[in-house]
DNA sequence: CTCATATTGACAGCTAGCTGTCAATATGAC
DNA sequence: GTCATATTGACAGCTAGCTGTCAATATGAG
């Protein structure tokens, strides 16, 4: 029946909300000692994983956030000397964002903290289950994004 | 190997962040026409699903949020006449929160909107996959909550 | 009964999402 | 080359999480 699938989806949605909150709280606690927050850590990571220096819009797209919210975080990171704006040969206003040595070092520190955290968290859960869960979430997200672009309604 | 499980977990975590954002955006769009937001809808739902009138702390626990953030939403809902505070026979300050007729009607409207949304979103995804995904997320959340209570580190 | 402790709500203030509007710059059609 | 359109950043302001502190009330040990 269809109602059962619907209620399973509702369960999943509520679980996504709760886990999202717990991960952010746990991440904040994990990197607080090195002066980071989950949000800044994520942006630092998104910058680090770009092929090269990238404009804010590209980083926001990679993270699935709006350019304005990423811009705010990026500005804060720049004030702390973790990233720098470099001139963009193709666009005068859209400066490129790159990690400083300090930013890169801090990001690597965060990764070192994350390693045992992730290992313990995933302990005993088989890779296939993790992958399968990711795939379900990705599929749902793709549908929501597709719906968003057209006339809403997934 | 262990690094593979760790990277699967990282994928899953990033997917949780992205999907969480998409669901909230989609939910906001869905219930905007009846004057609700995702957050208020959720609180309304949590109140509706309690066995009877409940204090704010109980609702917050059910949602996995802090009492203060739920309190703020509850106060806003009370101002709009969607919920009322009733005296608590066991506690003078901790008033009980209950839906008004208007609040109940609005919640039922939201559920009617959600039904086709959920059906379309879950279409073609088998119940087992949804359930399995929920179980993985629940397990991860339980570990994080357990870690939070003791000396951190999941 | 009394007093230390826990629970709860009120209030203030922070972070990090979001939207909307405007100006500057690129881009593409012609 | 010019001009309409799209992209980008800046700025302002909103929502909804969070923490911290204080006062009021319950609760339990003695």
A16-50: b (≥16 Cβ within 10 Å) or e: bbbbbbbbbbbbebbbeeeebebbbbbbbbbbbeb
Give residue-wise pLDDT tens across range A63-120.
999 999 999 999 999 999 999 999 887 787 778 999 999 999 999 999 999 999 999 9
In the predicted structure, residue A30 carries a pLDDT above the cut 90: yes
Chain B residues whose beta carbon lies within 8 Å of the beta carbon of residue A153:
116-117, 120
Please report the pLDDT score of residue B70 as a whole number: 95
How many Cα neighbours within 13 Å face the side chain of B103?
A: 25
Please report the pLDDT score of residue A113 as a whole number: 95
Please report the pLDDT score of residue B37 as a whole number: 95
Give kind and range of the element (H or E) at residue A91: strand A91-99
What's the distance, Cα to Cα, between the start and end of chain A in Å?
Answer: 20
> What's the predicted TM-score (pTM) here?
0.91
Please report the pLDDT score of residue B154 as a whole number: 55
**Is strand D in 7 Å reach of the CB of A149?**
no
Please report the pLDDT score of residue A154 as a whole number: 55
CA B114 to chain centre: 14
Low-confidence stretches of chain B (pLDDT beneath 70): 1-3, 150-154
Chain A residues whose beta carbon lies within 8 Å of the beta carbon of residue B59:
none
Residues 114-153 of A with CB under 8 A from B: 115-122, 125-127, 129-134, 136-141, 143-145, 147-148, 152-153
């Amino acid at each position: 029946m269809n109602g059962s699938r619907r209620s399973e989806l509702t369960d999943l949605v509520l679980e996504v909300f709760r886990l999202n909150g717990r991960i952010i709280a746990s991440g904040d606690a994990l990197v607080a000692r090195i002066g980071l927050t989950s949000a800044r850590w994520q942006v630092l990571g998104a910058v680090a994983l770009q092929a090269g220096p990238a404009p804010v819009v590209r980083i926001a797209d990679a993270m699935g956030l709006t350019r304005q919210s990423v811009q705010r975080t990026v500005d804060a990171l720049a004030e702390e000397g973790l990233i720098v704006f470099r001139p963009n040969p193709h666009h005068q206003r859209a400066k490129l964002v790159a990690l400083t040595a300090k930013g890169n070092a801090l990001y690597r520190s965060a990764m070192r903290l994350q390693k045992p955290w992730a290992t313990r968290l995933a302990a005993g859960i088989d890779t296939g289950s993790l992958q399968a869960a990711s795939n379900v979430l990705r599929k749902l997200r793709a549908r929501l994004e597709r719906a968003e672009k057209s006339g809403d309604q997934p």
